[in-house]
A = this chain, B = another copy of it.
Amino acid sequence: MPEHLTAALTPPRPTAARADASGGGPLTPLELAAWRGFLRAHARLTRAVDADLQARHRLSLSAYEVLMLLADAPDRRMRISDLSSATILSVSGVSRLVDRLVRAGLVAKEACPEDARGAFARLTDQGATRLEAARASHLAAVRALFLARFGEAELRALAEGWERLREG
């Protein structure tokens, strides 16, 4: 860590400067810690979780999410665009991911009877098996690296905070 940066990383002390902190003025140390911390925490966490999932089960976090959504869906199938809304991926991103999952045998594509434009992605038995194999260790990793670091009240505050961000 470069020496000139360590000062910026000491825990911010309580400040009364928040009144200044509007518009485009420089971020207060507290604002910086909240924002950069968010970016860094996300990067560290997703890397660690993804690497774990990849090493143990040859699945990316996105692939896991899609398989999980399919497993929970009626008939174990969902349409591409619905998968897109339920994840953080674009429609074309889902299309390509589903392609890869089909090639891996974890998902099969089916035509959509009542709308011939649509396409279903359906979880195969092999996909269900792989998901089942991955689920416990993945959830344990998410708990160990993230959830377990917070108390229940904090988790509620987090969940509520994400919701508040979504509304704006």
Contact = CB atoms under 8 A, between A and B. Distances in A.
Interface of A: 1-2, 4-5, 8, 11-12, 14, 18, 21-27, 30-31, 33-35, 37-46, 69, 72-74, 78, 82, 85-86, 88, 135-140, 142-147, 149-150, 152, 154-166, 168
Nearest to A160: B11
Given A4-B72, A88-B43, A145-B168, A162 B38 contact: yes
A157 B155 contact: no
A50 B139 CA distance: 30
A168 B146 CA distance: 9
Contacts of A21: 143, 147
Contact of A156 (B4, B30, B46, B82): B30
Given A38-B42, A72-B4, A149-B165, A30 B155 contact: yes
Contact of A23 (B44, B72, B85, B136): B136
B152 A18 contact: yes
